[in-house]
Structures are given as C-alpha cells and as structure tokens.
Amino acid sequence: MAAKSTSKTPRRTNQSLSHLLRLPAGRVDLSRLDTAATHGYPGKGKDDAAALTAALAPQISDLQERLFANGRAAPDTAKRVLVLLQGMDTSGKGGVIRHAMGMVDPQGIQLTSFKAPTVEERQHHYLWRIEKALPSPGMIGIFDRSQYEDVLVVRVEQLVPVSEWSKRYDEINALEKQITDEGTTVIKCFLNVSFEEQKARLAARLASPDKYWKYNPKDIDARAKWPAYQQAYADALERCNTDYAPWFVIPADRKWYRNWAVAQLLREHLVGMDLGWPEATFDVAAEKARVAKA
C-alpha cells in the first residue's frame, strides 16, 4: 500500500475537474465539444503528464484502501464506486484502465469488459449482465463499455427495433438511480476522440506488428457510420445526464491529458465520499495487552 495521506480537498468546487468536465444539462451537440482541450490541466503539457498523474497515486491509494476496509468491516453499509468508460474505438478505454486505474490496488478493482452479448447473455434482459457486474461493497468497479452499448451499437446497427431501444434511456436512468441510492458513486466518462485522431490511431495500429492485435477490421465499419454514432452518443449523453449519475466528457485526442483527467476525476470523487477508517470491532487496549503477552 502506498503512503498515507489525509489531505482535505474541498468537495466539487468551481475549480474542480469534476465541475469543468461535467456535461451541462440540456441539448448535447458533440460538434461543439473540443476533443483536444486540456481543461483544468495543472502542468505545461505532455512532458509533465506522467509525473502529474503519478502524483495522484498516493491519495487515490489511501482513499481506495479506506473504501476497501469499510467493505470488509461493514459490507451492508459500505460505499462502492463505478467508473464507466464509453467512447468510440481508439478513444482509449484500455489506456485509461492501464494508466489511470492501474494506480489502484488490483484487489480493490472489479473490471468488466462488455463485448457483443454471448449466447447466454442474449437469453436475458440486456441489463442482466450489467447488474451481475456491479461493484461489491468497498470495491471500485470499472466498466469497459457498458449498458450504453444497448443504446449505441444496438441503435446504430438496428439490432433491436426503435420501440425497444427508445425505452432504454429511462430504464438505464432507473438502474443508475437505484445503485446510487444504495451507495454507489457512479463516474460516467465519455472519452471524446475526434474523427481525425481516430484515423491516425487506426493507422498507427497498422504501422507496427506489436499493435496489430488492437486492430479490428470491423472498426472501419463503425467508423463509416461515425455521424450515426455521434447522434446516438449525443442522445445517450443528453437523456442519461442525471444529477445522481452525470456524464463527464473527457477530451481524448491527447492521451496524456485523458489519463490524467480520469485519475483526477476518480481522486475528486473519492475525496468527496468522506471515507473514514472502520472502527475496531474489538477492545483495542485489551488486544494490545494480549499481544504483549503472546
């Protein structure tokens, strides 16, 4: 475990990154969101990003350990965190998991990557696999893709009728209301990459054999439907941007900013949870005496 720190950072102030990246309520027009912005970044640029991101690790680690400890000590009342990552191919969901979430003790993480539903998953309601993957008490869940695929790829590829997917925004909101009421802090991150940057990243995947494994020829089919995906994203962001589970839009054209930003968002949310250490469930003085004699 990393160093202990108890710095008392204010809750969401106007200066917080959570405030800067929070999607404002109302109409969403993705064309107005700058994919290369570095809102709130405290450094000069790429050169100091690794150090600034690493500097967040001690506090994230301390707070995560408190969260985990409470999950062990009092599972019925312990809080949970869910970091949900959405974005087009190459937007960097994997990079965020490696660089930002990778700073957290793996024992406290429940990572789930949602692919096209399996035969078994298809026999259930679309939220079945989501509910199964929700974080346990004291845990940080990470969703690499999520329930939102069921109003994104499903909508664009017309995998179910309009009458079916159009009901899902309300259903997703209801699920998120339920889990936030039950003590889960939900951090929904839309990694917003530009059409041009996606092309560059796809080309980079084809330029060296150590990146071939990341390349999926089907990604080009999705790219060809970029406007339809942008519309589907805009609607999902707009309709599911609630007070209890708001969307954060992360400009994702600069990988170093994206990784720092998600780590910083996680830090701010953990700070806002006011996590203390669980009380001893035994007589500390008596146990000290017993250990002394043991």
Residues at the interface with ligand AMP (CB under 6 A): 114-117, 145, 149-150, 153-154
Q: What are phi and psi of 258, to 5 degrees?
A: -55, -50
Shortest separation between residue 279's beta carbon and ligand AMP, angstroms: 42
Residue with the two structure tokens 């793996």: 106
Q: In what helix (H) or strand (E) does residue 84 lie, and over which residues does it extend?
A: strand 80-87
Query: What, of ligand AMP, Mg ion, none, does residue 145 touch, CB below 5 to 8 Å by kind?
Result: ligand AMP
d(CA 114, CA 264): 24
Shortest separation between residue 172's beta carbon and Mg ion, angstroms: 22
> If binding means CB under 5 A, how many residues of this protein chain bind Mg ion?
2
Query: What, of Mg ion, ligand AMP, none, does residue 149 touch, CB below 5 to 8 Å by kind?
Result: ligand AMP
| 89 lies in the site for Mg ion, by CB under 5 A | yes
Residue nearest to ligand AMP (CB): 149
The two tokens of residue 163 are 């009458």
| 253 lies in the site for Mg ion, by CB under 5 A | no
Which of 58, 112 has the CB closer to ligand AMP? 112
Shortest separation between residue 96's beta carbon and ligand AMP, angstroms: 13
The two tokens of residue 80 are 């949970």
Q: Are 202 and 223 in contact (CB under 8 A)?
A: yes
Edge-to-edge order in the sheet of strand 184-192:
109-113, 140-144, 80-87, 184-192, 247-251
Shortest separation between residue 281's beta carbon and Mg ion, angstroms: 46
Shortest separation between residue 151's beta carbon and ligand AMP, angstroms: 9
Query: What, of Mg ion, ligand AMP, none, does residue 253 touch, CB below 5 to 8 Å by kind?
Result: none
Query: What, of ligand AMP, Mg ion, none, does residue 115 touch, CB below 5 to 8 Å by kind?
Result: ligand AMP
148: number of CA atoms within 13 Å, CB side?
Answer: 26
Alpha carbon 293 to its chain centroid, in Å, reads 48
* Helix %, strand %, coil % of the chain (to 5): 50, 10, 35
Q: Are 187 and 193 in contact (CB under 8 A)?
A: no
d(CA 142, CA 100): 11
Which of 29, 221 has the CB closer to Mg ion? 221
The two tokens of residue 284 are 């500390």
Stretch that binds Mg ion, among 36-44, 73-81, 83-91, 165-173 (CB under 5 A): 83-91
Query: What, of ligand AMP, Mg ion, none, does residue 153 touch, CB below 5 to 8 Å by kind?
Result: ligand AMP
Residues 181-220 that bind Mg ion (CB under 5 A): 216
| Interface with Mg ion (CB under 5 A) | 89, 216
